Amino acid sequence: MSATEPHPWLAGALVPGRFGAAAGEPVRLGTRACELVQVLARRDGDAALQAAIRAAGGPDLPPPGHAAQGERMAALWTQPRGWLIQAGPDAGLARRLADACGPAAAVVEQTHGRCVFTLEGAHARAVLARLCRVDLHPRAFGPGRVAVTPLSEIAAVIHQTGAAPGFDIIVASSYARAVAGMLAAAAAPIGYQVGGDQMGGDQMGGDQMGGDRVD
Amino acid sequence: MLLIRCPVCAMDRPELEFRHAGQAHVARPADPGAVDDAAWAAYLYLRDNPKGVVAERWRHVHGCGRFFNALRHTVSDRILATYPAGASRPEVAP
Ligand SMILES: [Zn+2]
């Protein structure tokens, strides 16, 4: 299974179309196809990890609560000296980073271990606020911010990708189906759209939504 | 619900992301073989229970996963300060 294929756990969970409240502007709900790699600096490995990330086209590793976008990949802070690296599909990222880091860092492939949902639109903040307790007001949170926090009862990484606003919501793949249902239920009173304008027949909406980053 | 500021995440988070982990600044005897049973028992089992400000260990178990210390008033249940594990107890007005 490559990164561009939909997560099998999600089969049939997100169907293209418009759902929930019919009036007003819907939020857009989908998934993002990308490579994910968890990196953890080992003792005295910080400089070597940073050098490997930079050499691979990544950014300066961001401080707590922040994400940074590099030329070829983004880094999301998830814990002290630990980041989630996110890159385009099929980048073969984990292998290259592991080779570059050597013993300086623990590099763990997470592409299929996690699932990335996208939630975008003027009312995305209101939908997310039903499920998580982080202060999402623009004065407290904004593009490039990251929070590791439970979404309802499920561990999640929330990453604001754009000012629209747009959010990436990263959860364990085994919870993806539950989170898809949770997001749909939270978005229903506002109305939500799965998939783009040109809806394909056999593809999940998530693939059509997983295009360019908002930022 | 209490909002607790995690000094690692540098964000205010709800209490249910955290676990209480007992009294802070309890130092393990450097040489356990050199202390008598009473002193060892005091280290293991005896804890303060004041009415007022206490220093406690908390863990951001559903966030960054790290331990830190907090000053909490046992009457008002207000968290007065949070600070990194290993740092000395800050002065605060109760
Ligand atoms: Zn934390």
SS (H, E, C) chain A: CCCCCCCHHHCCCCCCEEECCCCCCCEEEEECCCEEEEEEECCCCHHHHHHHHHHCCCCCCCCCCEEEECCCEEEEEEECCEEEEEECCCCCHHHHHHHHHHHHEEEEECCCCEEEEEEECCCHHHHHHCCCCCCCCCCCCCCCEEEEEEECCEEEEEEEEECCCEEEEEEEHHHHHHHHHHHHHHHCCCCEEECCCCCCCCCCHHHHHCCCCCC
- Asked whether residue A168 falls in the same domain as residue A131, the answer is yes
pLDDT the model gives residue A6: 57
Average pLDDT, chain A: 87
- Asked whether residue A22 falls in the same domain as residue A47, the answer is no
Q: Could you give phi then psi for residue B14, rounded to 5 degrees?
A: -70, 150
In chain A, which residues have their Cβ closer than 8 Å to the Cβ of B15?
none
Query: Which CATH number do you get for residue A138?
Result: 3.30.1360.120
- Asked whether residue A41 falls in the same domain as residue A78, the answer is yes
Tally A–B CB contacts below 8 A: 35
- Asked whether residue A102 falls in the same domain as residue A165, the answer is no
Q: Which of B64, B66, B82 to mutate to test the interface with A (most CBs of A within 10 A)?
A: B64
Is A201 a residue whose pLDDT tops 50? no
Once rounded to an integer, what is the mean pLDDT over residues A198-213?
A: 35
Which structural domain range is residue A51 located in?
35-109
Give A138: exposed, middle or buried? Use CB within 10 Å, 0-12, 13-18, 19+: exposed
| Paired sense of beta strands A114-120 and A27-31, if any | antiparallel
Asked whether the beta carbons of residue B13 and residue A80 sit closer than 8 angstroms, the reply is no
- Asked whether residue A118 falls in the same domain as residue A71, the answer is no
Residue A202 domain-assigned? no
Residue A45 domain-assigned? yes
Q: What's the structural domain count of chain A?
A: 2
- Asked whether residue A39 falls in the same domain as residue A57, the answer is yes
- Asked whether residue A166 falls in the same domain as residue A140, the answer is yes
B17: nearest CB among A65, A79, A150: A150
Once rounded to an integer, what is the mean pLDDT over residues A63-82?
A: 96
Q: What percent of chain B has pLDDT over 90?
A: 93
Residue A20 domain-assigned? yes
Q: Picking from A21-35, A119-133, A190-204, which range would have the lowest pLDDT averaged per residue?
A: A190-204
Q: How confident is the model at residue A5 (pLDDT cuts 50, 70, 90)?
A: low
- Sign of the CA dihedral with A208 first, then A97, A113, and B65 last: negative
- Asked whether residue A155 falls in the same domain as residue A118, the answer is yes
Closest CA relative to residue B14, chosen from A139, A208, A59, A131: A131
Residue A205 domain-assigned? no
pTM: 0.87
Predicted-complex ipTM score? 0.84
- Asked whether residue A25 falls in the same domain as residue A121, the answer is yes
Q: How confident is the model at residue A35 (pLDDT cuts 50, 70, 90)?
A: very high
Residue A214 domain-assigned? no
- Tell me the per-residue pLDDT of A91-137, one tens digit each, with 9 for 90 and over: 788 999 999 899 999 999 999 999 999 999 999 999 999 999 999 99
Element holding B12 (H helix, E strand): strand B11-14
In chain A, which residues have their Cβ closer than 8 Å to the Cβ of B13?
133-134, 149
Q: B59 vs chain A: nearest CA distance in angstroms?
A: 13
- Asked whether residue A25 falls in the same domain as residue A57, the answer is no
* Closest chain B CA to residue A150: B62
Residue A201 domain-assigned? no
DSSP-assigned letter for residue B33: G
Residue A66 domain-assigned? yes
Is A163 a residue whose pLDDT tops 60? yes
Q: Which of A57, A77, A109 is the last residue of a domain?
A: A109
- Asked whether residue A91 falls in the same domain as residue A59, the answer is yes
pLDDT the model gives residue A62: 98
Per-residue pLDDT of chain B (94 residues; tens, 9 = 90+): 689 999 999 999 999 999 999 999 999 999 999 999 999 999 999 999 999 999 999 999 999 999 999 999 999 999 999 999 999 999 987 6
- Asked whether residue A154 falls in the same domain as residue A57, the answer is no
Residue B54 in 3-state DSSP? strand
- Helix A93-101 to helix A46-55 angle (10° resolution) is 140
Residue A102 domain-assigned? yes
CA A41 to chain CA mean position, Å = 22
